[in-house]
Chain A
Amino acid sequence: MNRLVLFFHKTGSPPWFYRFAGKLIPWLWLLFAVLTAIGLYLGLIEAPPDYQQGESVRIMYLHVPAAWMSMMIYALMAVMGFIALVWRIRIMEILAISSAPVGAAFTLIALVTGSLWGRPTWGTYWVWDARLTSELVLLFLYMGVIALYNAYDEPRKAARAAALLSIVGAINLPIIHFSVQWWNTLHQGSSISMKGSSIDASMLWPLLIMAIAAKFYYGANLLSRARLRLLKQDHRKRWVNELLDEEH
């Protein structure tokens, strides 16, 4: 069996996953901190103010990565949920449900920063255009998954129900992506595409750096939550007690 396949098999074992994630998490936090420092420096200090919006455009460096993460995490949650449903891998169930609060938090950040950004630029805190509305609906989808998980008593059954719901809700994601093309909206048209972007490099770089930093945040946060949930679920098992004995 080659090393990559062996690695994936090992991650299915709770004690191995716990230790491996524990080693990975500090590095993820470090990379997050470094990239955020660079990104915020470039974005808040080096990058020029927008010719129309002035300094308030700088909220973009928080708002856009948060919005991108909110959608990416939902897609990942649905994929992890699918794997958990089909192959019944417990670690996948834990990772999927641990992603939900992180994704919901990013969605909330996107909504709040977007609202604060809208006030000076559009004159209003909120409009019901397609993109904003879809992001709000995405928040409700996250809350639905979390609520469904918490409604069940048995953790594995709860995780499978939540996984099913997140897959069904994944239909919403393409609608968010294409909503800017389907309706005439107030929101800025998609400026970053596969063909290249219409944003100047001095603004694009901080944006992309912040986006990557957000991914490291997600990784670190997700693994921390997953470890905690694993400990809670396995608290009667021998490997947890051995672990706790080790640490004393």
Chain B
Amino acid sequence: MSKPNAYSAFVALVRRDLLLAYRRRAELLQPLFFLLVVITLFPLGVGPSLSLLAKIAPGVIWIAALLATVLSLDGLFRSDFEDGTLEQMVLSGQSLALIALGRTVTHWLVAGLPIVLLSPLLAMWMNLPDSGMPVLIKSLALGTPVLSLIGAIGGALTVSLKRGGQLMSLLVFPLYVPLLILATNAVSSAVAGLPYNGQLGLMFAGLIAALTLAPFATAAALKLSLT
């Protein structure tokens, strides 16, 4: 067998994580149910007035997506940390940043992508005008990977702590704020007929920045947590 290179390690990790995720399907559906429930609570809380719901739709959908993602990020590294697999990954000599990226990719595939796919339903529930729907999907498609990437940093920083989950959500929320502002601004602008490509462009730039930098921060945090 030839010496495993970085690419095959990455692929192996992603396949393992996807298989594990598939075996715990029920667990992974919980954040998505949380998303649906939170969206449902809004009309119940603010009243069924369609015009009001339409006005708050971009923000509400994005906040619900944020909360659901944070919920699913909690256990990102925890089970591997507890049974020693994480230590083995660090010791394996493979690039830890690539391992972190692999874990983040699977997280997005099982937690972020379903949010993107569910967004038309959420848009319908919140009475988002049709002009806003494509931009909503684009903003979620660009934004949810960033949520996973930055959330992985928080998850790695708190994995060795006893009450890490609560702290992690507090840590990552300020980091999510610019993304939230840009995304909801893009959707609101689209609904109002104003240009929105600037906001989407900035989100795309943010995605590239996060994609290239966050795995290194996550790797540093993992090494820190394991010492």
A residues touching B (Cβ–Cβ < 8 Å)?
85, 130, 133, 137-138, 140-141, 143-144, 147-148, 151-152, 157, 160-161, 164-165, 167-169, 171-172, 175
Known: A151-B164, A168-B150. 16 other contacts (CB 8 A): A133-B177, A138-B174, A141-B174, A147-B167, A147-B170, A148-B171, A151-B163, A152-B161, A160-B224, A161-B157, A161-B224, A165-B171, A168-B153, A168-B217, A169-B175, A172-B178
> Cβ of B167 and Cβ of A151 under 8 Å apart?
yes
B10 on the interface (CB 8 Å rule)?
A: no
B174's contact among A140, A161, A167, by CB below 8 Å, is which?
A140
- Shortest B120–chain A CB gap in Å is 28
A140's contact among B173, B224, B227, by CB below 8 Å, is which?
B173
Chain A residues whose C-beta falls within 8 Å of the C-beta of B175 in the assembled complex: 141, 168-169, 171-172
Known: A141-B174, A144-B171. A151 touches B158 (CB 8 A): yes
Chain A residues whose C-beta falls within 8 Å of the C-beta of B177 in the assembled complex: 133, 137, 172
Q: List 7 A-B contacts (CB under 8 A).
A: A147-B167, A157-B227, A165-B171, A168-B150, A172-B177, A172-B178, A175-B178
Q: Contact string, B73-113, partner A, CB cutoff 8 A, digits 1/0?
A: 00000000000000000000000000000000000000000
- 3 tightest CB-CB pairs across the interface, nearest first? A140-B174, A144-B171, A141-B174
B9 on the interface (CB 8 Å rule)?
A: no
> Cβ of B157 and Cβ of A137 under 8 Å apart?
no
Closest residue to A152 on the B side, CB-wise?
A: B161
- Shortest B150–chain A CB gap in Å is 8
Closest residue to A160 on the B side, CB-wise?
A: B224
Known: A151-B167, A165-B157. A144 touches B224 (CB 8 A): no
Known: A161-B224, A164-B221, A164-B224. A148 touches B174 (CB 8 A): no
- Shortest A133–chain B CB gap in Å is 8
Q: Which of A137, A151, A160 has the most CB of B within 10 A?
A: A151
Chain A residues whose C-beta falls within 8 Å of the C-beta of B164 in the assembled complex: 151
B220 on the interface (CB 8 Å rule)?
A: yes
Closest residue to B185 on the A side, CB-wise?
A: A183
Known: A148-B167, A157-B224. A164 touches B174 (CB 8 A): no
Chain A residues whose C-beta falls within 8 Å of the C-beta of B181 in the assembled complex: 130, 133
> Cβ of A169 and Cβ of B174 under 8 Å apart?
yes
Give CA–CA (A140, B153) in the complex, Å.
Answer: 17
Give CA–CA (A108, B42) in the complex, Å.
Answer: 31
- Shortest B157–chain A CB gap in Å is 5
Give CA–CA (A6, B173) in the complex, Å.
Answer: 42
- Shortest A139–chain B CB gap in Å is 9
- Shortest B23–chain A CB gap in Å is 32
Give CA–CA (A167, B171) in the complex, Å.
Answer: 13
Chain A residues whose C-beta falls within 8 Å of the C-beta of B167 in the assembled complex: 147-148, 151
- Shortest A64–chain B CB gap in Å is 23
- Shortest B201–chain A CB gap in Å is 13
Known: A137-B177, A157-B227, A172-B175. A164 touches B170 (CB 8 A): no
Closest residue to B206 on the A side, CB-wise?
A: A171
- Shortest B163–chain A CB gap in Å is 7
> Cβ of A151 and Cβ of B174 under 8 Å apart?
no
- Shortest A3–chain B CB gap in Å is 35
Give CA–CA (A170, B26) in the complex, Å.
Answer: 38
